[in-house]
């Protein structure tokens, strides 16, 4: 029974550490730039888009599709980087555990 108590304490400690790491992720940002700097998207570690910067050079009323494609590409790249950041920061808690969909 003593081992069970120790295991519960360790789980509670890990839970607190995970909660702290998740809060810290909210403060981290990633930046994705596409089109040679034409579009930049900045996202937070909790997958919120914080900023979209568009170069005036890419704004062409006759080619809106290109601008849309660049925004989508930059946003997807930023979200991919957030996933990598989350895996890097939170992966240490699940290393060795088979818990699909946890983070």
Pairwise CA distance, residues 11 & 9, whole Å? 5
pLDDT tens string 53-95: 999 999 999 999 999 999 999 999 999 999 999 888 888 776 6
Pairwise CA distance, residues 89 & 59, whole Å? 37
Kindly list the distances between the CA atom of residue 17 and the CA atoms of 14, 20, 29, 100, in Å, as whole numbers in the listed order: 5, 5, 20, 20
Pairwise CA distance, residues 54 & 39, whole Å? 5
Judge contact between 41 and 78, C-beta under 8 A: yes
What's the confidence (pLDDT) of residue 72? 97
Which residue has tokens 């304490």? 9
Pairwise CA distance, residues 75 & 4, whole Å? 45
Percentage of the chain modeled with pLDDT above 70: 89
Please give the model's pTM, rounded to 2 decimal places.
Answer: 0.75
What's the confidence (pLDDT) of residue 83? 94
Over residues 36-52, the mean pLDDT reads 96
């Amino acid at each position: 029974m003593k081992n069970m108590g120790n295991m519960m304490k360790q789980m509670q400690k890990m839970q607190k550490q995970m909660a702290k790491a998740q809060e810290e992720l909210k403060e981290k940002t990633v930046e994705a730039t596409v089109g040679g700097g034409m579009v930049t998207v900045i996202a937070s570690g909790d997958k919120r888009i914080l900023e979209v910067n568009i170069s005036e050079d890419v704004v062409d009323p006759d080619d809106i599709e290109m601008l849309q494609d660049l925004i989508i590409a930059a946003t997807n790249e930023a979200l991919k980087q957030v996933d990598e950041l989350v895996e890097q920061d939170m992966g240490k808690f699940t290393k060795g555990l088979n818990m699909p969909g946890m983070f």
